[in-house]
Structure 1
Amino acid sequence: MKNKNELFNYLLFGVLTTIVNIASFAVFDKVLGLDYKLATTIAWVLSVIFAFVTNKLYVFSSKNIGGKSVFREFISFLFFRGLSYVLDIASMIILIDFVKIDSLLAKIAANVMVVVFNYFASKYVIFKPSSSSEGAEADEKIT
């Protein structure tokens, strides 16, 4: 049951993070007329901050509250979100400059790939259970 709730929460906050990403991209790209690469980067920063907080608190219910633990999670989160940024910006460049589709449609397509990548990185690396009894029980169930 926990996995279903986790997946539901990830999808819910993933949709909200995607809305933050796409809406902020649209404002910077379409309304303010910034270059799509700069708009993508700003949208990424805003959505990463939103995603870290919601993933930590509501999706993976990370109980780590100590400064070192939170810092480790945040650095790990930034590393993997940095990888997803590379996937995002590369997709945008390919779709806009080479395939020649509209920047907003490219952003939506890129986000589909990014969401899948981010889920697996968050679940299995960033917010995995610590070596507490909960983590040990989960490991025992797998073996």
Structure 2
Amino acid sequence: MITKYIQKYQSLIEYAVWGTCAFLINLSVFTVLDVWTPMNYQIANAIGWLLATTFAFFTNKLWVFATHATSLKSLLREMWSFYFFRVVTLLMDIVILFVGISLLKGNDIVVKLIDQCITNVANYFFSRWYIFKTIK
């Protein structure tokens, strides 16, 4: 019974595991740069995003959705699609942080945690239904 459940939701479970790792990379880099350096929080966010997104591309490709590009063109298309949709959620990320930190004067780390929960859900849907589903 549990095996059937795991098989049915395997990609979601794997995405949760690897997504948590990417989440921790993003949050850790953001926190270190935001708290321990005089860097602007948006720049710290962009650096954390770049590192986490690169990590997420490879883990999503190899283990979560297990796509196998058969050519360089296919691989580049997959990568382009992945980064395109991640830039969409990066824009969400930037707006959420701006509203939460600059306008509402919220705690940087708390706002970042809330932001990451929202953008990670969006990232899963983009990855599951647009990026790795349509690329062959």
TM over 0.5: yes
Structure 1's 72 and 130: CA in aligned 2 closer, same or farther, altered over 3 A?
closer
* Structure 2: tracts of 5 or more residues without a match: none
Contact preservation (8 Å) 1:13, 1:51: yes
Match of 2:97 in 1: 92
The correspondence for 1:120, drawn from 113, 118, 125, is 125
CA distance in 2, matches of 1:107, 1:67: 35
- Whether 2:91 is the aligned partner of 1:82: answer no
Match of 1:64 in 2: 69
Structure 1's 7 and 41: CA in aligned 2 closer, same or farther, altered over 3 A?
same
Number of equivalenced pairs: 131
Shift of residue 65, structure 1, vs aligned partner: 4.0
Shift of residue 3, structure 1, vs aligned partner: 3.8
CA distance in 1, matches of 2:111, 2:71: 39
Contact preservation (8 Å) 1:37, 1:89: yes
Q: 1:128-139 residue pairs with structure 2 within 5 A?
A: 128=133, 130=135
Match of 2:38 in 1: 33
**TM-score, structure 1 as length reference:** 0.87
- Whether 2:109 is the aligned partner of 1:110: answer no
**TM-score, structure 2 as length reference:** 0.92
Give 1:49's aligned amino acid.
T
Match of 1:101 in 2: 106
In percent, how many aligned pairs have the same letter?
33
The one-character-per-residue Cα deviations of 1:42-85 (angstroms, maximum 9, x if unpaired) are 11111110000000001000111420111000000010000000
CA distance in 1, matches of 2:93, 2:45: 8
4+ residue segments displaced more than 6 Å = none
Structure 1's 65 and 19: CA in aligned 2 closer, same or farther, altered over 3 A?
farther
